[in-house]
């Protein structure tokens, strides 16, 4: 259902139910939540599984972008 609705909305990227799970876990952790509590909220048996949804390291800082010299 999520993929179908995303196509109907002509979103440029792939999206699915796990996108929302990753966004929720990442936002929770960015706001000071702990991995252990995120694990419990996500109902994962292992913190390792919860860590797969943590997208905090995907962000690139402005300082890193400014290193690019054209």
Tokens of 39: 């694990």
Rounded to the nearest angstrom, the gap between the alpha carbon of residue 13 and the centroid of all alpha carbons in its chain is: 14
pLDDT in tens, 10-50: 887 788 888 889 999 999 999 999 999 999 999 999 999 99
| pLDDT value of position 60 | 74
Report the first-to-last Cα separation within the chain, whole angstroms: 43
């Amino acid at each position: 259902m999520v993929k179908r609705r995303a196509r109907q909305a002509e979103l440029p990227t792939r999206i699915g139910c796990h996108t929302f799970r990753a966004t929720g876990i990442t936002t929770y952790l960015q706001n000071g939540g702990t991995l252990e509590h995120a694990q419990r909220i996500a109902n994962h048996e292992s913190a390792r599984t919860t860590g797969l949804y943590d997208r905090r390291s995907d962000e690139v800082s402005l300082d890193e972008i400014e290193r690019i010299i054209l």
